[in-house]
Amino acid sequence: MVLEHEIPGMLTWVILNLKGFLAILVVLTVGGMFLGFLRSAISQGPGEAFYAVARTVFTAGYELGSFSLRRMLAMAWLAFKESWRRRVFVVLIVFVAILMFARWFLDAGSDNPTRLFISFVMTATNFLMLTLALFLSSFSLPTDIKNRTIYTIVTKPVRAWEIILGRIVGFTAIGTVLLAIMAVCSYVFVVRGVVHSHEVAEELEEVLDDDGELIGWQGRTTLDSGHRHSFTLNLEGVGQTNLVQGHWHQVERQEQDGKVRVEVGSPVGMLLARVPRYGKLRFLDRTGVPGEPISVGYEWTYRGYYEGGTLAGAIWEFDGITREEYPDGLPLEMAIRVFRTYKGEIERGIMGSLVVRNPNPAKRVESAPIYFEAVEFSPQRRLIPTTFEPLESDGSDQQTLDLFDDLVDEGRIEILVRCEERAQYFGVAQADMYLRAGDNSFLANFSKGYVGIWLQMVLVTCFGVVFSSILSAAVAMIATLATIVLGFFTDNILELAHSVFSGDKSVAGGGPLEAAIRVPNQMNLTRKIENPVMPFIEAVDQGIMAIMWCAAKLIPDYSKFSNISYVANGYDIPFDLWAQQCAVTLIYLLVITCIGYFLLKTREIAA
Amino acid sequence: MSESVVAEPQPQSAQGSDDVVLEARNLTKTYRDFWGRQKVQALQALDLEVRRGEIFGLLGPNGSGKTTTIKLLLGLLFPSSGRAMVFGRDATEVDKNERLGYLPEESYLYKFLNAEETLDFYGRLFNMSAATRRQRVGELIDLVGLEWAKRRQLKEYSKGMTRRIGLAQALINDPELIMLDEPTTGLDPIGTREMKDLILRLRDEGKTVLLCSHLLADVQDVCDRIAILYQGELKELGRVDSLLKVQDVTQIHASGLSEEAQNEIRDVVARHGGELVSMGNPTNTLEELFLKIVRESEERPGMRATVSKE
């Protein structure tokens, strides 16, 4: 699976982001106080305004001190009850309807049906939940204010903290109930969708060795769920099918009372949560010295390509390798992309080799190459054995190499992958090879994936509630929607902003205003616009992008909360990622609640 | 937070103002539009004091600033200038709400809750324990006579029933100060009488009541003191009995007197004797006073009415 950004460890992540976070916090605090001061100064003069700001801050602290869980939960209960009365469960009906019709369109015979099913249900759930959170949260407070039911609330000793947080908690609670039901439905849908069984299609064929001795059987399964397997059985009548769509079945032949029965088991390897252990990737250029990979012309530079039949290669260095952890050898999985400069034999993969090396240059020991045929798109398993035969060309005094004694240096090991065919290219990224340390429970991973959706829902709810504390319902909804849209395209906006500021045109087409000129004139993206007002347009674009940059920095990057690709591709969601997502949500919850408090507190409810 | 329903009266630094529960000082409210242009002068330099244990009535025609005053005193609006103080503290402070009950103009309640749930919910906003809430909710439902309908959603309630449940929620914390905005609208004559009796009973329990209304008969019946507002200005302030007394007229009621005796009465009265059944000043109805003030204000805008004061 594609892992464009390395996930830093939790501690590294905190250190990395702490400075930026504190800077934003200071800017928000100072900016907020200044705005409050300004507003108050216009109506009451600077002296009084200073006093008002000080009093508001002081009151906020005091009211936080007298926070009551019971009052907050009362507000949450109200929000829950109100949402329920608004018939939120209609969302569930919609969801079930989607699932019912989805089976018509989801092709169980596709390359990877598990991925298809999981990414479909999770994406559907995600969008439904975000839409629901958007509507619930942005309509509630304005309705209260419009109906003036808020009058009977704010004339009770309930603090603005409790109102804001209570709303968030209440909507989160109802969202959680709905999401949990959706998750269960999704799980059933996925399992029912991908789990299948086969029968044996025809009579088993006997497999004989050169001497005509029976050594086993072979056969084919029936075509079910859009695919079939072939299998071979040993003399005991036990065997496995081949790997199709990423899974295989256990096959058993039993003879009872002269009758032969062959049973095909349930699929293995469909619903996975692999725990990968990634190494560090570096490249060797065609002369065998460390260098950069070459571009084969793809715009997406995620994978680096290197040439076959040369000394070029890709080296992964893994650390923390011990005999205790991997007593049977290293369980390697890799998916290597191929770029063919000529067609060759298209049915056969491109040959590559894999060499295990000791990373310590003083003990330059390496194993004999292990040859393999590159399989794209689905990870290929390969167990690196614990012992290697010595290299024949390396003199006669060589002994059998032991993986842990000879090739591991202080827990580190290197694996060099070369492409063995001339003028063909291998393309790899760091996440394309890993040690599969073990598997976690798929169900647990599936749940973790839904927690990602849940966190997004909480964030949307936070924004909705806070916007609705000062804006009318429709405006609050649009504002919240804007944060969602912006949040899903954070990276693109930051990239564009960088391009517009630096003028390096790394994003072709320029800022919004420039694009607005190019589009109706049907100009291509890179042609220079010859126009005397161009500096003005660029200045305006810089202004717009400055605002967009600020917004993108302040708004959560929703794309970082999507764990769908992990679950769908069968990888365990790393704990660090998960912890970071939770931490980000918590921080947003706290900061946004603060903002909401001040907005609600300084608002004239009855105006 | 303490579990107690009624907060203890807080010690105050100025002993003299101890029994002033509500205070408006030069209270002014101007509604402005988005650009800061003045739209309406809703309240102009109001000075007002409501003391502990009295029933104070705010009177005025529609749009005179009664509700604005109440909202300012509740902190629902912020004054443009001047101060609104409740229990000697700024009206925007949340703490004051512990000792305060408010019945809004219309009972703005959550229609999807039933009576019990409503009162229980508001009880929780006062941080009451479950046991206290149960007890209090039962008492109040009895008090407002809604025992028979307590499980019904408020959206099924009639106007009068909604009013009653609104009153019950205002009393949930056994408040020291109760603000009632048009308490009798929507109530039938019996309901109105009950409401008035309840207000008087609350006063007898030592509570302070601020009510605003344009139903003059109600105000005349229950209020100790009144303020009359007209177009955001205070026109009259004083005790109801003294405001309505006609000072220079004496009224005598007598019975069983012959013609001569009646003639003689004049002499007797002239010599300050005789058997008088009743003697006093005839009173205006509040309606007469009210209309007079409104007429005078229209004739001479900006002036305080010249009716006799306390």
Residue-level pLDDT at B212: 87
In this structure, of A262-266, A306-310, A480-484, the range with the lowest mean pLDDT score is A262-266
Task: Convert the pLDDT of each residue in B64-105 to its tens digit.
Answer: 888 889 999 998 888 888 889 999 888 888 888 999 999 988
Judge whether residue A69 has pLDDT over 80: yes
Average pLDDT over residues B23-45: 83
Residue A388 identity (one-letter amino acid): F
Say yes or no for a CB contact (<8 Å) between A152 and B97: no
Torsion region of B76: left, alpha or beta (phi above 0 gives left; psi -120 to 50 gives alpha) = alpha
| Chain A residues within an 8 Å CB radius of B127 | 68, 70-71, 157
Say yes or no for a CB contact (<8 Å) between B102 and A607: no
Question: Residues 54..73 of B with a Cβ closer than 8 Å to A: which?
Answer: 71
Residue-level pLDDT at B117: 92
Residue-level pLDDT at B16: 43
Distance from CA of B190 to the nearest CA of A (A): 26
Task: Convert the pLDDT of each residue in A530-553 to its tens digit.
Answer: 888 888 988 999 999 999 999 998
Structure ipTM: 0.81
Say yes or no for a CB contact (<8 Å) between B113 and A151: no
- Burial class of residue B65, CB neighbours in 10 A (0-12, 13-18, 19+): buried
Say yes or no for a CB contact (<8 Å) between B77 and A59: no
**B97 closest CB neighbour out of A73, A147, A155:** A155
Say yes or no for a CB contact (<8 Å) between B93 and A81: no
Say yes or no for a CB contact (<8 Å) between B122 and A73: no
Say yes or no for a CB contact (<8 Å) between A157 and B98: yes
Computed over every residue of chain A, the mean pLDDT equals: 89
**A156 closest CB neighbour out of B1, B112, B122:** B122
Residue A343 to residue A346: CA distance in whole angstroms: 6
Q: Does B112 touch chain A (CB under 8 A)?
A: yes
Say yes or no for a CB contact (<8 Å) between A155 and B124: no
Q: Which of B98, B124, B155, B181 to mutate to test the interface with A (most CBs of A within 10 A)?
A: B124
Smallest CA–CA distance from B69 into chain A, residue: A606
Residue-level pLDDT at A348: 85
Segments in A147-231 forming alpha helices (H): 149-154, 160-194
Residue-level pLDDT at B216: 78
Residue-level pLDDT at A584: 93
Position A509 confidence tier, pLDDT thresholds 50, 70, 90: confident
Reported as type and span, the H/E element at residue A248 is: strand A248-256
Distance from CA of A155 to the nearest CA of B (A): 6
Whole-model pTM: value is 0.86
Report strand pairing: A280-284 vs A290-291: antiparallel
Angle formed at CA A320 by CA A316 and CA A325, multiple of 5 degrees: 110
Distance from CA of A477 to the nearest CA of B (A): 21
Q: Which of A156, A164, A470, A475 to mutate to test the interface with B (most CBs of B within 10 A)?
A: A156
Judge whether residue B232 has pLDDT over 90: no
Position A593 confidence tier, pLDDT thresholds 50, 70, 90: very high
Distance from CA of B276 to the nearest CA of A (A): 53
Judge whether residue B13 has pLDDT over 50: no
Kindly provide the b/e burial profile for residues A233-246, where b requires at least 16 CB atoms within 10 angstroms of the residue's own CB. beeebebebeebbb
Average pLDDT over residues A419-427: 92
Say yes or no for a CB contact (<8 Å) between B1 and A606: no
Q: Which position has the higher pLDDT, A554 or A246?
A: A554
Q: Which position has the higher pLDDT, A476 or B38?
A: A476
CA Rg value for chain A:
31
Average pLDDT over residues A374-392: 78
Q: What percent of chain A has pLDDT over 70?
A: 98
Task: Convert the pLDDT of each residue in B253-275 to its tens digit.
Answer: 666 667 777 777 667 666 655 44
Judge whether residue B119 has pLDDT over 80: yes
| Chain B residues within an 8 Å CB radius of A81 | 110, 112-113
In this structure, of A274-278, A312-316, B158-162, B206-210, the range with the lowest mean pLDDT score is B158-162
Short-list B128, B176, B206, CA closest to B7? B176
Average pLDDT over residues A578-603: 92
Q: Does B78 touch chain A (CB under 8 A)?
A: yes
Q: Does B116 touch chain A (CB under 8 A)?
A: no
Task: Convert the pLDDT of each residue in A110-160 to its tens digit.
Answer: 878 888 999 999 999 999 999 999 999 998 888 888 888 899 999 999 999
**B100 closest CB neighbour out of A149, A150, A155:** A155
Task: Convert the pLDDT of each residue in B163-195 to its tens digit.
Answer: 889 989 999 999 999 999 888 887 888 888 888
CA A75 to chain centroid: 34
